[in-house]
Amino acid sequence: MIGLQVIANADAVNENVPQLTVWIRAGGKDVKSEITPFLQRLLEIVPEGRTQILICTNENDIILEELKSFYEAEKSVKLIFSTLSSYSLALTALAQNTNPESSVLSLSVGVDIRKDQLEEGLSNLKGRVRVYGWKIHEFQNDGTVPGKGWYNTAALIDKTIVRQIKEGSVPQWVDNGVLGKIDNYTIGGNEEIPMMVEALQRDPEARFILNVGDPVSLKLQLGTGVNYQEKLERKVAVSCYYLRKLYQETCTHETYESWFKSIWNSLEVIDFQKRALIAYP
């Protein structure tokens, strides 16, 4: 997914460590006209000072011409190159250019997020909370089943997950088509599932938060001829496939039902406007 990610670390004291770093995975003609105004809006909501912006794109991508004046004027901007069609390579490239003490806010280009939403999320990314994500209004990801949980489209990610990615924990099989198809869906994306499972293997007490009470909106629809409902159905099918695969590869001492419950129960679906925890059966 073409996305943007912001890295934050409230505890950093070294002035050489960015307090807030922005990752952007962006490329292609659909993003070209949106990327500059999107960055301008972003700079209005992130904390001023000690902010770095990393833009990951393809070599010779069409957006480079559009971005030239922006990154020449902004000293905080750095371009890195990878293969955007590979989720694993792009995420790993971004992580390798990230300070290990930084956490990440992942946003897709076109996400409309407010300053107070960002501040609320950062205030809750502490302790054993590894991810704080938002419901995407257009997707209606409500946390009820895998594929409807937090998305890299809009989520704060703790520095421990960044370290995981640095170590190459995003498997290559999340790239589109590597595992073939399931029913009518090409398998790929949904890298949030292996990220969660890996985090829980390292720390079984890790928690993930999904805020459904104050959703963000996604203004840019990518993917010709595919609506949000069709994307959501694919996310659910692929996420369930991943969980079965990861169970077979990593678990030998409990049933799938028990293992699945331990994974999905780590997601806390919360309405922060009402300060209420939503429990699903």
**Spatial separation of the C-alpha atoms in residues 13 and 138, rounded to whole Å:** 38
- The pTM assigned to this predicted structure is 0.88
Distance between CA atoms of residues 3 and 154, nearest Å? 9
Q: What is the mean pLDDT of residues 118-127?
A: 92
> For the residues 248-255, what does the mean pLDDT come to?
88
Token pair, residue 235, equals: 């996310």
Residue 1: predicted pLDDT: 45
The pLDDT confidence band at residue 72, using thresholds 50, 70 and 90, is confident
pLDDT bracket for residue 281 (50, 70, 90): very low
C-alpha dihedral (54, 58, 60, 65), degrees to nearest 10: -40
Domain count, the chain: 1
Is the CB of residue 56 less than 8 Å from the CB of residue 23?
Answer: yes
Nearest to 141 by CA among 243, 276, 231: 231
Domain holding 22, by residue range, is 3-278
Query: Of all residues in the chain, what percent carry a pLDDT higher than 90?
Result: 53
Which of 73-77, 81-85, 112-116 has the weakest average pLDDT?
Answer: 73-77
Q: Which amino acid is at 103?
A: S
The CA–CA distances, whole Å, from 15 to 38, 97, 193, 237, 268 equal: 27, 17, 34, 45, 34
- Please write the tens of the pLDDT for every residue from 127-171: 999 999 999 998 889 999 999 999 998 999 999 998 999 998 899
| Summary count for the chain: helices (H), strands (E) | 8, 13
**What's the pLDDT at 13?**
46
Of the CA atoms within 13 Å of residue 2, those in its CB half-sphere come to 20
Q: What CATH number does the domain containing 60 carry?
A: 3.90.550.10
Mean pLDDT, residues 33-56: 85
The pLDDT mean for the chain works out to 86
Spatial distance between the Cα atoms of 141 and 43, rounded to a whole number of angstroms: 27
Judge whether residue 14 has pLDDT over 70.
no
